Structure 1
Protein backbone atom coordinates (compact mmCIF):
# COMPACT_ATOMS: atom_id res chain seq x y z
CA UNK A 1 0.00 0.00 0.00
CA UNK A 2 1.27 3.43 -0.93
CA UNK A 3 0.04 6.69 0.54
CA UNK A 4 -0.12 10.15 -0.99
CA UNK A 5 -1.04 13.42 0.76
CA UNK A 6 -1.49 16.85 -0.76
CA UNK A 7 -3.33 20.10 -0.14
CA UNK A 8 -5.87 21.69 -2.46
CA UNK A 9 -7.23 25.23 -2.44
CA UNK A 10 -10.85 24.08 -2.89
CA UNK A 11 -13.34 22.80 -0.33
CA UNK A 12 -14.00 19.06 -0.01
CA UNK A 13 -17.36 19.46 -1.72
CA UNK A 14 -15.80 21.24 -4.71
CA UNK A 15 -13.05 18.64 -5.01
CA UNK A 16 -15.58 15.82 -4.89
CA UNK A 17 -17.75 17.50 -7.51
CA UNK A 18 -14.72 17.81 -9.81
CA UNK A 19 -13.86 14.14 -9.33
CA UNK A 20 -17.44 13.04 -9.82
CA UNK A 21 -17.93 15.09 -12.98
CA UNK A 22 -14.78 13.70 -14.61
CA UNK A 23 -14.84 10.11 -13.31
CA UNK A 24 -18.52 9.52 -12.52
CA UNK A 25 -19.47 8.85 -16.12
CA UNK A 26 -17.12 5.86 -16.26
CA UNK A 27 -18.96 4.05 -13.40
CA UNK A 28 -15.74 3.47 -11.45
CA UNK A 29 -16.33 6.08 -8.77
CA UNK A 30 -18.12 5.52 -5.45
CA UNK A 31 -18.67 8.02 -2.65
CA UNK A 32 -19.28 7.69 1.07
CA UNK A 33 -19.86 11.02 2.75
CA UNK A 34 -18.89 10.94 6.43
CA UNK A 35 -19.52 14.39 7.79
CA UNK A 36 -19.84 17.99 6.75
CA UNK A 37 -16.09 18.60 6.59
CA UNK A 38 -14.84 15.16 5.49
CA UNK A 39 -15.59 12.96 2.47
CA UNK A 40 -14.37 9.48 1.62
CA UNK A 41 -14.20 8.15 -1.91
CA UNK A 42 -13.01 5.06 -3.74
CA UNK A 43 -11.86 4.67 -7.33
CA UNK A 44 -11.25 1.36 -9.06
CA UNK A 45 -11.74 -0.42 -12.34
CA UNK A 46 -13.65 -3.66 -12.40
CA UNK A 47 -12.25 -6.77 -14.06
CA UNK A 48 -14.49 -7.40 -17.04
CA UNK A 49 -12.47 -10.18 -18.66
CA UNK A 50 -10.82 -13.42 -17.56
CA UNK A 51 -7.61 -13.77 -15.64
CA UNK A 52 -5.61 -14.18 -18.84
CA UNK A 53 -6.02 -10.47 -19.62
CA UNK A 54 -4.76 -9.17 -16.25
CA UNK A 55 -1.90 -7.37 -17.94
CA UNK A 56 -4.23 -5.15 -19.98
CA UNK A 57 -6.17 -3.72 -17.05
CA UNK A 58 -5.51 -1.27 -14.27
CA UNK A 59 -5.02 -3.22 -11.06
CA UNK A 60 -5.08 -0.38 -8.50
CA UNK A 61 -7.77 0.44 -5.95
CA UNK A 62 -7.64 4.01 -4.73
CA UNK A 63 -9.13 4.95 -1.32
CA UNK A 64 -9.21 8.64 -0.53
CA UNK A 65 -10.41 11.06 2.08
CA UNK A 66 -10.78 14.83 1.83
CA UNK A 67 -10.57 16.90 5.03
CA UNK A 68 -11.48 20.53 5.49
CA UNK A 69 -8.40 22.26 6.93
CA UNK A 70 -9.39 25.94 7.04
CA UNK A 71 -11.75 28.10 5.06
CA UNK A 72 -8.78 30.05 3.68
CA UNK A 73 -6.28 27.23 3.19
CA UNK A 74 -8.58 24.75 1.49
CA UNK A 75 -8.52 21.00 2.02
CA UNK A 76 -6.12 18.20 2.79
CA UNK A 77 -6.43 15.10 0.56
CA UNK A 78 -5.14 11.71 1.71
CA UNK A 79 -5.08 8.87 -0.80
CA UNK A 80 -3.91 5.27 -0.42
CA UNK A 81 -3.24 2.92 -3.32
CA UNK A 82 -3.64 -0.87 -3.00
CA UNK A 83 -3.47 -3.79 -5.41
CA UNK A 84 -6.65 -5.45 -6.62
CA UNK A 85 -7.46 -8.60 -4.57
CA UNK A 86 -7.69 -10.82 -7.65
CA UNK A 87 -4.16 -9.85 -8.60
CA UNK A 88 -2.94 -10.68 -5.10
CA UNK A 89 -4.58 -14.11 -5.33
CA UNK A 90 -2.90 -14.87 -8.64
CA UNK A 91 0.54 -14.02 -7.26
CA UNK A 92 -0.04 -15.88 -3.96
CA UNK A 93 -1.34 -19.00 -5.71
CA UNK A 94 1.71 -19.01 -7.95
CA UNK A 95 4.00 -18.75 -4.90
CA UNK A 96 2.13 -21.60 -3.15
CA UNK A 97 2.44 -23.74 -6.27
CA UNK A 98 6.18 -23.10 -6.47
CA UNK A 99 6.69 -23.86 -2.76
CA UNK A 100 4.67 -27.07 -3.09
CA UNK A 101 6.75 -28.15 -6.06
CA UNK A 102 9.99 -27.41 -4.21
CA UNK A 103 8.77 -29.32 -1.14
CA UNK A 104 7.89 -32.29 -3.33
CA UNK A 105 11.35 -32.16 -4.88
CA UNK A 106 13.05 -32.06 -1.49
CA UNK A 107 11.02 -34.93 -0.02
CA UNK A 108 11.35 -37.05 -3.12
CA UNK A 109 15.13 -36.55 -3.19
CA UNK A 110 15.22 -37.71 -6.75
CA UNK A 111 18.33 -37.66 -8.84
CA UNK A 112 16.29 -36.81 -11.92
CA UNK A 113 17.77 -33.50 -13.07
CA UNK A 114 14.81 -32.53 -15.31
CA UNK A 115 12.55 -32.07 -12.27
CA UNK A 116 15.06 -29.71 -10.66
CA UNK A 117 15.39 -27.74 -13.90
CA UNK A 118 11.59 -27.46 -14.15
CA UNK A 119 11.43 -26.25 -10.53
CA UNK A 120 14.14 -23.67 -11.18
CA UNK A 121 12.39 -22.39 -14.30
CA UNK A 122 9.11 -22.16 -12.41
CA UNK A 123 10.80 -20.24 -9.60
CA UNK A 124 12.36 -17.83 -12.11
CA UNK A 125 9.00 -17.29 -13.84
CA UNK A 126 7.33 -16.60 -10.47
CA UNK A 127 9.99 -14.04 -9.62
CA UNK A 128 9.57 -12.34 -12.99
CA UNK A 129 5.78 -12.22 -12.56
CA UNK A 130 6.18 -10.65 -9.12
CA UNK A 131 8.62 -8.03 -10.44
CA UNK A 132 6.30 -7.26 -13.36
CA UNK A 133 3.31 -6.83 -11.02
CA UNK A 134 5.26 -4.39 -8.84
CA UNK A 135 6.44 -2.38 -11.86
CA UNK A 136 2.92 -2.16 -13.31
CA UNK A 137 1.51 -1.17 -9.90
CA UNK A 138 4.02 1.69 -9.60
CA UNK A 139 3.21 2.82 -13.16
CA UNK A 140 -0.55 2.78 -12.48
CA UNK A 141 -0.08 4.71 -9.22
CA UNK A 142 1.82 7.42 -11.10
CA UNK A 143 -0.97 7.59 -13.72
CA UNK A 144 -3.58 7.99 -10.97
CA UNK A 145 -1.53 10.70 -9.29
CA UNK A 146 -1.25 12.64 -12.55
CA UNK A 147 -4.97 12.22 -13.27
CA UNK A 148 -6.13 13.33 -9.82
CA UNK A 149 -3.74 16.26 -9.59
CA UNK A 150 -4.95 17.43 -13.02
CA UNK A 151 -8.61 17.12 -12.01
CA UNK A 152 -8.19 18.83 -8.63
CA UNK A 153 -6.03 21.62 -10.06
CA UNK A 154 -8.66 22.76 -12.59
Structure 2
Protein backbone atom coordinates (compact mmCIF):
# COMPACT_ATOMS: atom_id res chain seq x y z
CA UNK A 1 0.00 0.00 0.00
CA UNK A 2 1.40 3.36 -1.05
CA UNK A 3 0.29 6.71 0.21
CA UNK A 4 0.81 9.92 -1.69
CA UNK A 5 2.70 12.87 -0.24
CA UNK A 6 0.58 15.91 0.57
CA UNK A 7 2.76 18.38 2.46
CA UNK A 8 1.78 21.52 0.56
CA UNK A 9 4.62 21.32 -1.97
CA UNK A 10 3.87 20.03 -5.46
CA UNK A 11 5.62 16.95 -6.80
CA UNK A 12 7.41 19.06 -9.41
CA UNK A 13 8.70 21.46 -6.73
CA UNK A 14 9.71 18.55 -4.48
CA UNK A 15 11.66 17.06 -7.40
CA UNK A 16 13.43 20.35 -8.13
CA UNK A 17 14.35 20.78 -4.46
CA UNK A 18 15.51 17.16 -4.21
CA UNK A 19 17.65 17.57 -7.34
CA UNK A 20 19.27 20.65 -5.81
CA UNK A 21 19.79 18.87 -2.50
CA UNK A 22 21.30 15.97 -4.44
CA UNK A 23 23.91 18.38 -5.84
CA UNK A 24 24.54 19.68 -2.31
CA UNK A 25 24.88 16.10 -1.07
CA UNK A 26 27.35 15.35 -3.86
CA UNK A 27 29.46 18.44 -3.15
CA UNK A 28 29.46 17.57 0.55
CA UNK A 29 30.49 13.98 -0.25
CA UNK A 30 33.49 15.09 -2.33
CA UNK A 31 34.49 17.71 0.25
CA UNK A 32 34.19 15.11 3.02
CA UNK A 33 36.51 12.73 1.16
CA UNK A 34 39.05 15.42 0.36
CA UNK A 35 39.07 16.77 3.93
CA UNK A 36 39.47 13.28 5.38
CA UNK A 37 42.28 12.46 2.96
CA UNK A 38 44.05 15.72 3.76
CA UNK A 39 43.66 14.92 7.48
CA UNK A 40 45.48 11.62 6.91
CA UNK A 41 48.22 13.09 4.73
CA UNK A 42 49.02 16.59 6.02
CA UNK A 43 52.66 17.17 6.96
CA UNK A 44 54.87 20.07 7.95
CA UNK A 45 55.20 22.58 10.76
CA UNK A 46 51.42 23.07 11.01
CA UNK A 47 50.73 19.33 11.15
CA UNK A 48 49.19 19.27 14.61
CA UNK A 49 46.81 22.21 14.15
CA UNK A 50 45.76 21.24 10.60
CA UNK A 51 45.37 17.54 11.46
CA UNK A 52 43.02 18.50 14.31
CA UNK A 53 41.16 21.13 12.28
CA UNK A 54 40.59 18.74 9.37
CA UNK A 55 39.36 16.09 11.84
CA UNK A 56 36.69 18.44 13.18
CA UNK A 57 35.71 19.47 9.65
CA UNK A 58 35.37 15.98 8.15
CA UNK A 59 33.32 14.77 11.12
CA UNK A 60 30.91 17.69 10.71
CA UNK A 61 30.65 17.00 6.97
CA UNK A 62 30.00 13.29 7.58
CA UNK A 63 27.10 14.09 9.93
CA UNK A 64 25.64 16.58 7.44
CA UNK A 65 25.44 13.94 4.69
CA UNK A 66 22.70 12.16 6.63
CA UNK A 67 20.76 15.37 7.25
CA UNK A 68 20.78 16.28 3.55
CA UNK A 69 19.90 12.76 2.35
CA UNK A 70 17.10 12.43 4.89
CA UNK A 71 15.57 15.75 3.76
CA UNK A 72 15.56 14.43 0.18
CA UNK A 73 13.75 11.31 1.43
CA UNK A 74 11.26 13.39 3.45
CA UNK A 75 10.39 15.13 0.17
CA UNK A 76 9.55 11.69 -1.24
CA UNK A 77 12.50 11.40 -3.59
CA UNK A 78 15.39 8.92 -3.68
CA UNK A 79 18.70 10.19 -2.31
CA UNK A 80 21.59 9.71 -4.73
CA UNK A 81 24.37 7.46 -3.46
CA UNK A 82 27.54 5.72 -4.54
CA UNK A 83 30.87 7.34 -5.20
CA UNK A 84 30.59 7.43 -9.00
CA UNK A 85 27.06 8.87 -8.91
CA UNK A 86 27.95 11.52 -6.35
CA UNK A 87 31.20 12.58 -8.01
CA UNK A 88 29.33 13.04 -11.32
CA UNK A 89 26.74 15.27 -9.60
CA UNK A 90 29.33 17.32 -7.69
CA UNK A 91 30.68 20.70 -8.74
CA UNK A 92 33.89 19.95 -6.79
CA UNK A 93 36.85 17.94 -8.02
CA UNK A 94 38.35 15.17 -5.96
CA UNK A 95 41.99 15.63 -4.98
CA UNK A 96 44.27 14.08 -7.60
CA UNK A 97 47.42 14.30 -5.46
CA UNK A 98 48.62 15.15 -1.98
CA UNK A 99 49.41 18.88 -1.98
CA UNK A 100 51.55 20.78 0.50
CA UNK A 101 49.78 21.78 3.72
CA UNK A 102 48.92 25.36 2.76
CA UNK A 103 47.70 24.23 -0.67
CA UNK A 104 45.37 21.85 1.19
CA UNK A 105 44.06 24.85 3.13
CA UNK A 106 43.61 26.83 -0.13
CA UNK A 107 41.73 23.98 -1.83
CA UNK A 108 39.44 23.38 1.13
CA UNK A 109 38.70 27.11 1.45
CA UNK A 110 37.72 27.27 -2.24
CA UNK A 111 35.65 24.09 -1.92
CA UNK A 112 33.72 25.37 1.11
CA UNK A 113 32.92 28.53 -0.87
CA UNK A 114 31.75 26.37 -3.80
CA UNK A 115 29.46 24.33 -1.52
CA UNK A 116 28.00 27.59 -0.18
CA UNK A 117 27.26 28.65 -3.78
CA UNK A 118 25.52 25.31 -4.43
CA UNK A 119 23.42 25.70 -1.27
CA UNK A 120 22.38 29.21 -2.36
CA UNK A 121 21.05 27.93 -5.71
CA UNK A 122 18.80 25.47 -3.88
CA UNK A 123 17.68 28.10 -1.37
CA UNK A 124 15.83 30.08 -4.06
CA UNK A 125 13.95 26.95 -5.17
CA UNK A 126 13.04 25.97 -1.61
CA UNK A 127 12.00 29.51 -0.73
CA UNK A 128 9.79 29.72 -3.82
CA UNK A 129 8.07 26.46 -2.81
CA UNK A 130 7.50 27.68 0.77
CA UNK A 131 9.72 24.81 1.98
CA UNK A 132 10.88 26.07 5.36
CA UNK A 133 12.54 22.83 6.54
CA UNK A 134 14.81 22.77 3.48
CA UNK A 135 15.48 26.51 3.81
CA UNK A 136 16.43 25.95 7.46
CA UNK A 137 18.78 23.09 6.54
CA UNK A 138 20.36 25.24 3.83
CA UNK A 139 20.79 28.17 6.23
CA UNK A 140 22.59 25.87 8.69
CA UNK A 141 24.83 24.49 5.92
CA UNK A 142 25.62 28.01 4.65
CA UNK A 143 26.66 29.08 8.16
CA UNK A 144 29.03 26.10 8.47
CA UNK A 145 30.60 26.48 5.01
CA UNK A 146 31.02 30.25 5.20
CA UNK A 147 32.54 30.08 8.70
CA UNK A 148 34.87 27.24 7.71
CA UNK A 149 35.96 29.12 4.56
CA UNK A 150 36.69 32.19 6.72
CA UNK A 151 38.77 30.16 9.18
CA UNK A 152 40.75 28.54 6.37
CA UNK A 153 41.18 31.89 4.59
CA UNK A 154 42.56 33.35 7.83
CA UNK A 155 45.33 30.76 7.82
CA UNK A 156 46.42 31.98 4.37
CA UNK A 157 46.75 35.63 5.38
CA UNK A 158 49.99 37.09 6.72
Q: TM-score, normalised by structure 2?
A: 0.36
* Higher share in helix: 2
- Which has the bigger relative contact order, CA under 8 A and spacing at least 6? 2
- Decide which structure has greater strand share: 1
